[in-house]
A and B are shown apart, each in its own frame.
Chain A
Amino acid sequence: MATPLVVSDVAKSFTMHLRDGIRLPVVAGVSFSIRAGECTVLGGPSGAGKSSILKMLYGNYAVDEGQIIVHHDGGLIDLATASPRTVLGVRRQTIGYVSQFLRTVPRVTALDVVAEPLVERGEDREAARLKARTLLAQLNLPEKLWSLPPATFSGGEQQRVNIARGFITDHPILLLDEPTASLDARNREVVIDLIAAKKAAGVALLGIFHDHDVREAVADRVIDVTAFAAGKIAA
């Protein structure tokens, strides 16, 4: 399965009903595919729609037009029209996602936040925690923080928890929304190594990286999102 995900002719716009129904086109005619064992990077300036594309692929944003075909559970699924239940299944088994910001839950420790995706896939809680420890150590998160809820962590610490949570599973597709934005040089290197390990394991990665050095180090292909601009209107 060399191309686990194919996007064809996807369009997205926002209709602001509270602003007299003004329509804000985001992207149109988005077509590309990603390959196993490669890291594809979405390039283009802020506002070009890079994050929106990632969010559509994760089912977090609705798709107006087009198809997002993904290999899931031995078959092909169109994420653009899939039922909520199917999307949840895809998230559990097939597509992982590292968001820009960690959404924290009161009272859940950093270790359990990281271990949760594995537990949801039916892995033993202690085994999952063990893997979580390894990853958090690799990302240089001080051990004294592991048993605390991440709500009070710094931006960089939260982002490392988020990265560990995204990388702990072996999802065949991994979406990365600026995972290195608030990291120092040392931890950026760690993330570059983690991405290389995912590539070696045959994972198809699709990411947004504003940091030039990181992008140079991980990108196999860059897709220029401005090619999908949907006739921007002045806001």
Chain B
Amino acid sequence: MTDEPLLRVSALSKFYGSRVGCENITFDLWPGEVLAIVGESGSGKTTLLNCLSTRLLPSSGTASYRMRDGQWRELYRMSEAERRFLMRTDWGFVHQNPADGLRMTVSAGANVGERLMAVGDRHYGNIRATAVDWLSRVEIDEDRIDDEPRSFSGGMRQRLQIARNLVTGPRLVFMDEPTGGLDVSVQARLLDLLRGLVTDLGLAAIVVTHDLAVARLLSQRMMVMKDGHVVESGLTDRVLDDPRAPYTQLLVSSILQV
């Protein structure tokens, strides 16, 4: 555990015209920490995630990231090329729909290898060996390496997207509803896999989810959003076991017991 955060977010706001996307968001994220952002549809959690990952530019506020060389950089002052480079190397983004994060018409191996080539790997044998290794880590059989993700099931596609993101050893991964749209049995497997990878690799992650069980399983800290604002934040188990804000109490009490 280092004493410096990895990401510092201060008074971040995004407006769509006069409508609030998210407003006045402030937090720090440390290496190895998983932060869950929960809330219902339209609460602004995805807007926030897109701002943090620089896919959207905020209306005001700052976000600074500690680069591998220890230098702090302000994300919204970086050039487009620098941000792209960060996105391809030190960051990952796992989309809810794997088709948004994968290239559906090239092979599974190439999907993983492409990120390696983006960071300068040129040796075909090494790239393929690393791809095989990563496919096995996400429990995809080696004999599927030359198949296109089009022929994969939803759960396999999501696991492939995760492998593609993690192969470059990123330090920060953004996830937008990573288990949305999957069967519960597939969800459980994916969650367990994600949990193991995050722990083993010491990743920091920001996970947007509307599923409190996903937040409980993956995250140590949680922010609850409503109408673009953070209404409650804290340790995940504290927020879920002793919710203070009226909206959090409503969310927690709405969980169906199986």
Please tell me if the beta carbons of A59 and B1 are within 8 angstroms of each other in the complex.
no
Tell me if B77 counts as interface (CB < 8 A to partner A).
Answer: no
Q: Shortest Cβ distance from B204 into chain A, in angstroms? A: 12
Tell me if A231 counts as interface (CB < 8 A to partner B).
Answer: no
Please tell me if the beta carbons of A85 and B33 are within 8 angstroms of each other in the complex.
yes
Please tell me if the beta carbons of A107 and B234 are within 8 angstroms of each other in the complex.
no
Please tell me if the beta carbons of A59 and B238 are within 8 angstroms of each other in the complex.
yes
Tell me if A71 counts as interface (CB < 8 A to partner B).
Answer: no
Tell me how many residues of A have a C-beta within 8 Å of chain B.
19
**Besides A84-B238, A87-B238, A89-B1, 7 other A-B contacts (C-beta < 8 A):** A84-B220, A84-B235, A85-B30, A87-B235, A106-B188, A106-B192, A107-B192
Please tell me if the beta carbons of A60 and B238 are within 8 angstroms of each other in the complex.
yes
Please tell me if the beta carbons of A88 and B220 are within 8 angstroms of each other in the complex.
yes
Q: Which residues 135-151 in B have Cβ within 8 Å of A in the complex? A: none
Q: Shortest Cβ distance from A25 into chain B, in angstroms? A: 14
A158 to B61 CA separation, bound complex (whole angstroms): 48
Q: Which residues of B contact A55 (CB under 8 A)?
A: 241-242
Q: Which residues 51-70 in A have Cβ within 8 Å of B in the complex? A: 55, 59-62
Q: Which residues of A contact B192 (CB under 8 A)?
A: 105-108
Please tell me if the beta carbons of B241 and A59 are within 8 angstroms of each other in the complex.
no
A87 to B242 CA separation, bound complex (whole angstroms): 15
Secondary structure of the A contact surface, majority rule: mixed
Count class of interface residues, chain B: 20 to 34
Q: Mark A62-104, 1 if CB is under 8 A from B, else 0.
A: 1000000000000000000000110111000000000000000
Q: Mark B220-239, 1 if CB is under 8 A from A, else 0.
A: 11000000000000110110
Q: A85-B30, A105-B192 are in contact. Are A17 and B246 (CB under 8 A)?
A: yes
Tell me if A18 counts as interface (CB < 8 A to partner B).
Answer: yes
Please tell me if the beta carbons of B189 and A107 are within 8 angstroms of each other in the complex.
yes
Q: Which residues of B contact A233 (CB under 8 A)?
A: none
Please tell me if the beta carbons of B191 and A62 are within 8 angstroms of each other in the complex.
no
Tell me if B60 counts as interface (CB < 8 A to partner A).
Answer: no
Q: Which residues 204-254 in B have Cβ within 8 Å of A in the complex? A: 217, 220-221, 234-235, 237-238, 241-242, 244-246, 249-250, 253
Tell me if A16 counts as interface (CB < 8 A to partner B).
Answer: yes
Residue of B nearest to A149 (CB): B192
Q: Which residues of B contact A106 (CB under 8 A)?
A: 188-189, 191-192
Q: Which residues of A contact B237 (CB under 8 A)?
A: 60
A106 to B250 CA separation, bound complex (whole angstroms): 27
Q: Which residues 177-225 in A have Cβ within 8 Å of B in the complex? A: none
**Cross-chain contact of B241 among A17, A60, A87, A108 (Cβ < 8 A):** A60
Please tell me if the beta carbons of B249 and A16 are within 8 angstroms of each other in the complex.
yes
Q: Shortest Cβ distance from A42 into chain B, in angstroms? A: 18
Tell me if B73 counts as interface (CB < 8 A to partner A).
Answer: no
Tell me if B55 counts as interface (CB < 8 A to partner A).
Answer: no
